[in-house]
Structure 1
Amino acid sequence: MDTESKTMFAEFIMQPICNLYEAAYKYLDADLLGKMQRQIPGWKDVDLQKLSAGATATRELSSRWLPFGECILEMATSHLPSPVDAAPHRLPVLCPKWFAPKPLPNAIAEGLHKCDAEATPVAYLAKFLSADLARLVLTDDTLVGDQDVDFVGICRVFSGTLRPQSRVYVGQDKPDEQERCLHVERLFQLMGRNLLEVTEAPAGSIVACHVSSPDGAELGVERFLTLCGAERGPNFETPYSSQAFAIVRVNLQPSRVEDLKALERGLRLLHRADPSVSIEAMVTGENVLGCCGDEHLKRCTHDLQKLYARDVEFSVSTPLVAVRESIAKSAPWQERYSQV
């Protein structure tokens, strides 16, 4: 690109990054790196003479110059509104029944509107992630040991303070639905894939929580929940469609009949963890798994084998194609034979 035609972004932001890549990855340009070292405080203790050209040197210098985590955090704190400032603008969208066109006149709505840490706790659990709570890490592709897979819910606390060993109620769409109660077992702060256990989560926090039913029953296939410290609390809108759009549909059958319950449980866990998955129990007894494509199907079957239905051998059918018949009005015989 011609120097005179460069934009300010290209010249002052992209050009220094390209210079670092060329000076550290393709070949080691000690002179150029030395000039940059005098302007970058994070490089003061770097011995350029000991570096060798390649990915390792580029990664080392880049992380010292522009550490990704710190840069993202700095930009978020500088440009995104605080939870207190964002609450009046977000709540009419998240919970229009309570806040559109104006907030309801009750204490819970007032606490949500002010993002008050002393009000009734209200949290939105947006996603479940599989976790190894014995090692306090989010799981990758496999589990270590013979323990069963656990789930933690990533939630945002909108009001009040969430604490372990507390009871919360699940928000319902309809007023006549039976109120459900859950028990908050543990709270964690997310540190990458590591889980740091904490004793409380005040309003504005984003934490991972481990919840369970008081009677010990397994949770259903919910992918998102609105939790409230009082009965008949708000219910936030869902970000997902009612049914995932499946491009590839296959039938899963266990190799042994006695493993059917374990496979069905694994499909429920997969459905909870992956918002793009659809599960159908056909009247014929078939368990149909719907995915977004071939690669997504491979990932889902891998997760079933390694995480959610371990030690269960199952077969995957060829993609299913729905064939349906319909009735249409027949054309008059004059139109059928008009071209003969």
Structure 2
Amino acid sequence: MKALVLAGGSGTRLRPITYTSAKQLVPVANKPVLFYGLEAIAEAGIVEVGIVVGDTAEEIKEAVGDGSRFGLEVTYLQQDSPRGLAHAVLIAREFLADDDFVMYLGDNFILGGINQIVADFQTHRPAAQILLTRVGDPTSFGVAELDSLGRVVGLEEKPKQPKSDLALVGVYLFTPAIHEAVRGIKPSWRNELEITDAIQWLIDESRTVRSSTITGYWKDTGNVADMLEVNRTVLESIDGRCDGVADSGCEIIGRVQIEEGAEIRNSRIVGPVIIGAGSVISDSYVGPFTSISADCLIQHSEIEFSIVLRGSSIRGVSRIEASLIGRNARVTPAPAVPQAHRFVLGDHSEVQISR
């Protein structure tokens, strides 16, 4: 069995971060989202992985390399522009050959991995197996319709009037039957080849399509709120350790990871928190669910429930929360502006000025 990982796309919902960085490489708990998916694939016993890349191909290649760090053998597949998930299958035909495969969206996060899902697919081997989860707003997802016996009878991509609240999670499992399906569909109203249309083609051709409704944690990390939520979830499972240096003026509470080369001076750190190698925290407060990447500086400031990327500095800022701060950013107080009042007052006016 092989894996097809999608790591293209422009990441418009994460701008301005994704103007200069691939959305799949934005870190949660100081590790790129993409890496969690690759680790899950390796843990499921899959070795051969094709990664579909787009405009950020070089950055993805530099981060992942040949895949050996994950125990994988990686082949890169260039997509000229985002044309839909089914188009990714189409261009990966030669790599996939006639093998079964799992397709994994590189910006998705599934807590607990995919071992059981892969094992279930290999046992029953339907033409396709999809993962579903209940969501509050199905209009933002591919949506599945099930019959009274729980069988998949219909799929629709981002419907204006959803027939259910069951959204497709970004992990799909296929036999080679999907190749005929992706060749048999036409672009949607979004001018993309939709994987939902390809799976619907299988259903219409009386091929078996199974589904599993997951109850565990899943997120499409497509926006800042979801990134922060995934970061929070991952940090909840970390263990505390100090491989760096914390001086006697520090108060460290709860599960805090201080990586090698990091220095904490006269600061209060309340976990769960992770502080990257080479970062310096001085005279500051770092609160729960915060990830500080490598080579950052936090000085005379307060921050919590946030993600700070590599090389950034925060100096003299009284409070930051629920924020995603990009690489090499600088956050400082605004210059003090002399107060002045300007009036055009009518006759017999009375004005009160707050001090």
Which structure has greater helix proportion?
Answer: 1
Q: TM-score, normalised by structure 1?
A: 0.23
TM-score normalized by the length of structure 2: 0.22
Greater fraction strand: 2
